[in-house]
Amino acid sequence: MVLLKSFVLAGLTAVVTAKSAVLDLIPSNFDEVVLKSGKPTLVEFFAPWCGHCKTLAPVYEELAQAFEFNKDVQIAKVDADAERSLGKRFGVQGFPTLKWFDGKSDKPTEYNGGRDLEALTAFITEKTGIKSKKKLAPPSSVAYLTDATFKNTIGGDKHVLVAFTAPWCGHCKSLAPTWESLATTFANEPNVVIAKVDAEAENSKATANEYGVTSYPTIKFFPKGSTTPEEYSGGRSEENFVTFLNEQAGTHRAAGGGVDATAGTFAVLDEIVTKYISGTPLTDAAAEVKKAAENLKEDAQYKYAEYYLRVFDKLSKSDNFAAKELARLEGILKKGGLAPAKLDELTSKTNILRKFVEKVTGKDEL
């Protein structure tokens, strides 16, 4: 037997199943609870047999619990299969349909945003100014694209990796945490976007159709300056995606965050460092680095080409500069607590300094 508890609203009872914070609406209480209460209400029209509705159910319950403390906003649902008159009254043609009642008008607006907890919470906060009490996960670095935003994102000065997904897709759910981690890993790369498109949402399925998406997840890569995608068919671990993007975008990311051991370095400049260690006079090597750096000005890492010059300048004043500076920066990195951008910068500098120190060590061993 299912236990029930009641919430008395304007003399009528809104029934809520035990342990649920979502209000159950039926024809006899709908007007009083939603239209005459003066309270903004998000209403889900669902059907018990609907797969998408089953996927949304736990998220919707979390949403209701997150706002349960505040009596000025309501999260409710209607079994529109059983209560067809309510579905017909508000023009419901598919499931689930989410409609927002502002507490003033009997004409709702349809909600077409994302169906994750973060998107739904942000929507309610935007509409009401009421903040959720539930501690949410850190903001996602994934760019959620719609028909309206997709074309503004691709074809510009950024490389874009897009996952076309569906809410009910098991493989998509398995990919989700990896995709979030990948987006966080590339969050500090201004020329790379990790994006996602809900291929079955009303506001984005036209884009999925345009690009011939027929199964999920489908992953496509749009090189900067191009609106013609390349199909991604590699592995689906974060390491696989990071390797792919580093090759395509010229980045130097490491899976799990930070940059790899090549970040900041240039093969052409490393060759000059080798020549310097092998006996080329410092002034000649510095001049050669300066000349070679002129051809690297368009590179995203150009500031590190300038760092090579700085190291040569410091070496002209102290033979031990590279070793001492490397030890100092490694000490800072070991302490931790650095902002991501600073961590990337210091790691890149240690990669460059290590070229000088490793070469010197190699020469001494000879």
Q: Which residues are catalytic?
A: 50, 53, 169, 172
Burial 264-276 (b: 16+ CB within 10 A, else e): bbbeebbebbbeb
Please tell me the total number of residues recorded for the chain in this structure. Answer: 366
- Mapping DSSP to helix (H, G, I), strand (E, B) and coil, where does residue 47 land? coil
Q: Whole-angstrom Cα distance, residue 142 to residue 228? A: 21
Written as one string, the DSSP assignment of 5-30 is: EEEEETTEEEEEETT--SEEE-HHHH
Contact 253, 260 (CB under 8 A): yes
Paired tokens of 92: 């419901």
The DSSP code sequence of 207-241 is HHHHTT--SSSEEEEE-TT-SS-EE--S--SHHHH
Question: What is d(CA 145, CA 148) in angstroms, rounded to the nearest whole number?
Answer: 8
Work out the angle at residue 232's Cα, subtended by the Cα atoms of residues 226 and 238, and round it to the nearest 5 degrees: 115
Q: Residue 273 has which token pair?
A: 């460092």
266-269: which pairs have CB atoms within 8 A and are 24 or more residues apart?
266/292, 266/296, 266/299, 266/301, 266/304, 266/305, 266/308, 268/292, 268/296, 269/293, 269/305, 269/308
| CA–CA dist 163, 172 (Å, integer) | 9
Q: Would you give the DSSP letter of residue 339?
A: -
